[in-house]
Structure 1
């Protein structure tokens, strides 16, 4: 692929065929921004025709093949639910072509890998910004506000609860990382922490929610950057079966569900039945 116009002024939004991508097209599309719709599937052609926008089709499988697609792109917004082991090719292509990069990654392993690329990206004048999705942004903002109200706080407990349906991509990510060891932050240091090993009560509108620690989330990175509070633990609400997976139980079932999410879970959850709640406890 050859792009004649090398002025970097466009924004490539990759992963527009998924659940989050469709939300973007429905609610966040700005016709005043020169947006390119990106995907690995030919069906993006129909989306581009529907919205009257440019499109590009490519897979994220190696850096070299991605580079030509970014010649005129100023920033990439990656909405695809892909692990860092795959995303790294797109990120490397962005650094090499001096293209800013944004994605939804909220899990600790993905975020720490991207943080390791900070100096390299900065040297090329590139911004790398993971964690812009709903999983981290609200709790990070809430933590910052609370730390400004209580500047002497030394402990931050973040609770995140989602009730209702979730997209297939979200479920796949949760299943993939459910049994992984994560991190809490103690005395400013990252300390290994097993998931579902600690419970904590949060109160929202006089109702108690008992959540379990979810150390795989990236709050221990982002909230520490935002607040500089030395002790940070992230908690979440999960159904019983997911808690069992997080404790290392029924791993055969977890792996079976990962390989067959397309059988059991819709890629278009019913948004009317889904509501989110985030609350923190700081002291």
Structure 2
């Protein structure tokens, strides 16, 4: 493979990806802003490393120069994606990340023309966010081409990494999100509640502001999109109460306090937990006449899928040299991508 970089390699998921890359005899450059952690990991894995922050755009572009691709694993991506995408555009390096943040997808999509001109692939969301649901969305579009409503969801019980937990704190302050008539609109948290069989029995579920509200529209053109996860009645009640506290959650001091608490208390699931907790992914498409198609697939744990998915996408981009521009995972590598990943069963349509 050409020279490529994992930025944020010292984070929970970034380190998992770096270790798996080494196991596969790949040689990415490990990078991040924490010198001690990056140099220690690079030394252990005998991989090259670079230490830099994204505060200086010129310095970031200089550090990315010579790379064919950057896989950004440094969250929250609301802070890191824009400067790293800019560095990649300047250095003409392809950009991937493992975000699930709607704002990141929208920003990357807005840069489609620049990316085309530069010959740079912009494909955020190449981890669990959003490979499985994006592939389910594309499969449903193929099965029901005139669909006007798309509902997606997943049942995962493995817990949060520190980066995912910090992103969730930011999300609470921004409220719920759905796509309605082609536009992303803000709605209350736990806006919709219904019962869903994700693949492991019917459960109460609530809507969440997941990345597919952005990406599934670009993959399918379906104008109305919602995303769901299982929830207890207590979770629904708590989130609905949180709607009245968004003014507080938006305060920088409160956000900083909650993120410091996360850094001290959240570690991410260990290997044993990841191995014993698979994920069930579900989707439902409906057309104007009420015809419905449902899709389900069982995958590896979300973090394990992020490792396999990110590396699969990095290898795909470097070996296939696609044209520049904005992509979703299914648009870039096909709707069968998720079924090709380790731990995935077949994608079943009904």
Match of 1:139 among 127, 133, 137: 133
| Cα offsets for 1:15-68 (capped at 9, x unmatched) | 111111122133344665442111211222222222221110111212111122
**Structure with a larger share of its residues in helix:** 2
Structure 1, gaps ≥5 residues long: 1-7
Report the 3-state secondary structure (helix = DSSP H, G, I; strand = E; otherwise coil) of the residue aligned with 1:277.
strand
Distance, in Å, in 2 between the alignment partners of 1:144 and 1:16 is 31
Distance, in Å, in 2 between the alignment partners of 1:103 and 1:46 is 23
Q: Identify the residue that residue 21 of structure 1 maps to in structure 2.
A: 14
Q: Identify the residue that residue 4 of structure 1 maps to in structure 2.
A: none
Structure 2, gaps ≥5 residues long: 286-291, 293-350
Distance, in Å, in 1 between the alignment partners of 2:235 and 2:169 is 11
| Cα offsets for 1:56-109 (capped at 9, x unmatched) | 011121211112212211110001113334432221111111111111121111
Report the 3-state secondary structure (helix = DSSP H, G, I; strand = E; otherwise coil) of the residue aligned with 1:89.
helix
- The Cα shift of 1:242 comes to 8.1
- The Cα shift of 1:237 comes to 3.3
Distance, in Å, in 1 between the alignment partners of 2:108 and 2:221 is 20
Q: Identify the residue that residue 277 of structure 1 maps to in structure 2.
A: 280
> RMSD of aligned C-alpha atoms?
2.6
Kindly report structure 1 stretches of 4+ aligned residues shifted beyond 6 Å.
none
Distance, in Å, in 1 between the alignment partners of 2:281 and 2:69 is 30
Q: Identify the residue that residue 257 of structure 1 maps to in structure 2.
A: 258
Alignment TM-score, normalising by the size of structure 2: 0.71
Q: Identify the residue that residue 3 of structure 1 maps to in structure 2.
A: none
1:248 matched to 2:243: yes
Q: Identify the residue that residue 61 of structure 1 maps to in structure 2.
A: 55
Match of 2:157 among 163, 166, 177: 163
Higher relative contact order (CA 8 A, sep 6+): 2
Q: Identify the residue that residue 298 of structure 2 maps to in structure 1.
A: none
Distance, in Å, in 2 between the alignment partners of 1:212 and 1:271 is 28
Alignment TM-score, normalising by the size of structure 1: 0.86
Distance, in Å, in 2 between the alignment partners of 1:31 and 1:136 is 24
Report the 3-state secondary structure (helix = DSSP H, G, I; strand = E; otherwise coil) of the residue aligned with 1:12.
strand
8 Å contact from structure 1 (residues 165, 271) kept in 2: no
- The Cα shift of 1:139 comes to 0.6
1:44 matched to 2:38: yes
Distance, in Å, in 2 between the alignment partners of 1:201 and 1:28 is 39
- The Cα shift of 1:263 comes to 2.8
Structure 1 residues 182 and 29, CA, compared in 2 at 3 Å: closer, same or farther?
farther
Distance, in Å, in 2 between the alignment partners of 1:58 and 1:123 is 27
Structure 1 residues 155 and 125, CA, compared in 2 at 3 Å: closer, same or farther?
same
Report the 3-state secondary structure (helix = DSSP H, G, I; strand = E; otherwise coil) of the residue aligned with 1:163.
coil
